[in-house]
Chain A
């Protein structure tokens, strides 16, 4: 039988890491030691934060690596499915989901005191075959839900009903103007209040 003092091994002969230290393994910590330890952690936090704030290169990924990463991120944007929109006079047209969401986000952001968070779009089941012969992967946008944040203490925050109407109007106008889309419904959900 194995005692807690003997090193245990697994089937491969490797030592097993005790999940929790056995009671006598670790010394009892004094209040003074605990305070010194806590102070050390606090100072580490403060110093790291100060270095980060000052842009010290020792606590940052190199600028070249960060630039390369950002290029990769932009190269890997998820454009999503192609969406059917009404044909133009000169032919059929489709846009990516990313384009649709960008139009919506920018429209919401133009409304004073409102900030776009995320949009959800529901599509008609049929593809664009019925819209000028273009076969998009998704049908026409049918309903839009806009999740937004409102600036705390702003005029918009004092009249949320009006603000929601302004947001709805801005989104509807942008969709009509930029993409020729007129969804049946645009819901606005005020989800957060932000400081500035």
Chain B
């Protein structure tokens, strides 16, 4: 079902005209309200009024995660705080969070694009939607929540965790649509099996899964074990949260809500725009956001754009699954984790640069983060309690910085393999990124 055919199935020519009009309005807003953009336009001799063609977008500067950090927390806001009704945040590369804001209108747009996403999965007012994404600063929970309410579905805002209760709710409340990370969906299936419960016998019909990369193999497994249609959704808090793009029932790529988010694929090295069908870094421009609009935001996510029409009737362009990252960011249980954050914690505790290795694995469909720290003389003690205290301290600090649990293991020096003197910092055994691009 298409939630808003007027926009989702708009003829391309009309859509592009709308995008241009909105882009011009965005540029005017940025120049008028955000000193960062005003100065950048001035430095690069860009006159927003002269942009009369979408192709000219390529002449405009990018916005990067560093720009967000340098303007922490509210420096890039384009609305006064009395118009900002909501703040969300995700982790940044070096301890500073990435902070985003929404006006009342932004929240309405978010609900609209999430209503489209849920409709892609077949949701209607008759559905019971179990929102098992985390609620809070993370955009997952509230994003799905508002979209589900917009549709008029019954929302169960259970948030993440407490798997047995999730299963009880799923069975007793008759959940028809599940929203969570794909790995958590599999974990629920595993737990259900242990409890002697067959999820395929429940009322589940679809799931909207995102916030982490997953593969076609994983989709097959989820569909088989939960007995539902597994839909891949994409979003990032910088752009709006979930709702940026979503697969439809055809499961052949994610339709980007282009009337609100203009998408490009660029060569991450040269910054040049790449033609459709080529793999590169996804770049988004928010066309309608008021509080936190971004121009050509570099997501560091790698994907491909497919312009061919989709049998579902939507004219919105499709993007592939996320095929990788241009940086070393890890997504662990839906949480963005940068190795630099872990290094900063270790440095603060040990006082010296430690040799460490981050090992991410998936055990029973749940991401596990393990940190190996080589015991140097500086942190060694002849007393067990001191070393256990050190392990505990690292664990607690990591948990409070990243918001996820880590297992800390003290290892002997030279345990961590070094290549040309440099230790390999991250070992990701999950193989989360799809090998074949699809769709």
**A and B bound?**
no
Binding site for B on A (CB under 8 A): none
